[in-house]
Structure 1
Amino acid sequence: MAATVFYLDEVPEPGATAVLDGPEGRHAATVRRIRVGEPITLSDGHGVLADSEVVAAQKDRLELKVLDRRVAAPATPQVTVVQALPKSDRSELAIELMTEAGADAIVPWQAARCVSNWENKAHKAVEKWRTAAKQAARQSRRAYIPDVAELHSTRQLVELVRSAVERGAVVAALHESGAGRFTELPFEGAAEVVLIVGPEGGLDDSEIAQLSEAGARAVLLGPTVLRTSTAAAVALGALGALTPRW
């Protein structure tokens, strides 16, 4: 079994001693009860990985000898998930699932039919998503922690889509009224994919019109209607099979 992954802002060179403290150190030493002699994989969350061995353990701090250091290749194509805000009880679940399924970047979106509203609490809510993404990345032993952007309005999302299309990205708006199928999109050779997931009430006509005008394609993901909290993970799984990501 591969060693557990923990994150440091900067991973030292082989032969050096790394210190894991703060929330990561407390989780490793107190929650996971990792002890001297156990292996740990260190990462900076931006691709660097290092095998290490615990040489000292305290209540909320570990010291580790770095044995090697390498850089993991990023997935291709890179996938950004635009997630309309789910209901509060399913919000972090959506982030956990899409992170474990391989999302490279996450954009929270205040869509018209969102039940949840982040007005006056966007900063705190984004930080919760970032924490959830980091925890899920650790759970799935990822070398890359997904970047979670600030809250986007529909106007900002339209600009994001337009810029992505200009770069050659494939942009898919997952919607039950889509004329085409997700599996029919031209993923071959694409370096970037953007997946747009609407809220529980779905995308409204105005949003579909604006996103389509900017270059997004409204498509059916499958034969059933999925919850907004699970749709991204399902799409990422399909994308893994359709592209070199897997």
Structure 2
Amino acid sequence: MNLALLFDEDFVAPDRAILTGRRLSHLHTVLKVAAGDHIPVGRSNGLMGTGEVVRLTSTEAELRVTLDQQPPPSVPLTLVLAMPRPKMFRRVLQTCASLGIKDLWLINSYKVEKSFWQTPWLSEDNLRENLTLGLEQARDTVMPTVHIRKLFKPFVEDELPGILAGKRALVAHPGTPTPCPVHLDEPAVLCVGPEGGFTHYEVGKLEEAGCEGVHLGPRILRVETAVPVLISRLFDACG
């Protein structure tokens, strides 16, 4: 936890916040703070700054909060991602949040198993928790927006063209002739398929909507590896 992300419900006064649970445990066991110590904090979708520990017990930590710093800039990339396997979904969420992705669309695909959509990691609380972990890792405060679309064709035909408007549109797919571009200086949309990739039909529909097929070379990568590689190739995500 490189930054303690604070939510509205944590504040008991404009400049006072109470930490419990996971964040309190981190203060005790990892940071080993004491009263008078300062830690990096940020308010969800707001400013960053410092929190002075004014009271610390086994059940809560009270912080005097000063917020006077802007969060890092976001990456101008909309990520359209076929729903990953649940065991890797948490890591992908955290990675996207850490790298500055603010607009994430989870979509269906032929190779996405129906059971993937039943995972508890899609609940609002679990989405927020994993996105929070990613933001805290990167010292960011702006919570990504996650859209869930369980029908591929209606999404691609009815919604995707509007999402692509005014942006460079790409679909990552092995075997396409064009290498993935680097160092973009314009907003972009990136579509990434499931394990095994999009079907030829799905790639065709994405191309009809305006996407350009690109590849990362001859190696086939897992989704959890391909996503950060693609983002970092397209934009200087850690700059």
The two structures share one fold, judged by TM-score above 0.5: yes
Counterpart of 2:66 in structure 1 is: 67
What pairs up with 1:1-246 in 2 under 5 angstroms?
Answer: 4-10=2-8, 17-23=15-21, 25-32=23-30, 33-72=32-71, 74-75=73-74, 77-115=75-113, 117-119=115-117, 121=118, 125-127=122-124, 128-158=126-156, 159-166=158-165, 168-183=166-181, 187-188=184-185, 190=186, 192-241=187-236, 246=239
Percent identity for Structure 1 against Structure 2: 21
2: distance between equivalents of 1:58 and 1:160? 50
Q: Which secondary structure state, in structure 2, belongs to the residue aligned with residue 86 of structure 1? A: coil
May I ask how many residue pairs the two structures share in their alignment?
A: 234
Which consecutive segments of 4 or more residues in structure 1 shift more than 6 A?
none
Amino acid in the other structure paired with 2:115: N
Amino acid in the other structure paired with 2:153: R
Once the two structures are TM-superposed, the CA of residue 31 in structure 1 deviates from its matched residue by 4.8
Asked if the contact 2:149/2:155 (under 8 Å) is kept, the reply is no
Change (3 A) 1:53 1:126: same
Q: Which secondary structure state, in structure 2, belongs to the residue aligned with residue 96 of structure 1? A: helix
Query: RMSD over aligned Cα, in angstroms?
Result: 2.9
Amino acid in the other structure paired with 1:213: E
Asked if the contact 2:47/2:67 (under 8 Å) is kept, the reply is no
Which of 63-72 and 121-130 deviates more? 121-130
Which of 59-68 and 121-130 deviates more? 121-130
**Structure 2: gaps (5+ residues):** none
Show CA shifts across 1:36-83 (max 9, x none).
Answer: 1222222223241122211111223221122342333533x5222222
Give TM-score, length-normalised by structure 2.
0.83
Change (3 A) 1:73 1:101: closer
Change (3 A) 1:157 1:178: farther
1: distance between equivalents of 2:46 and 2:168? 24
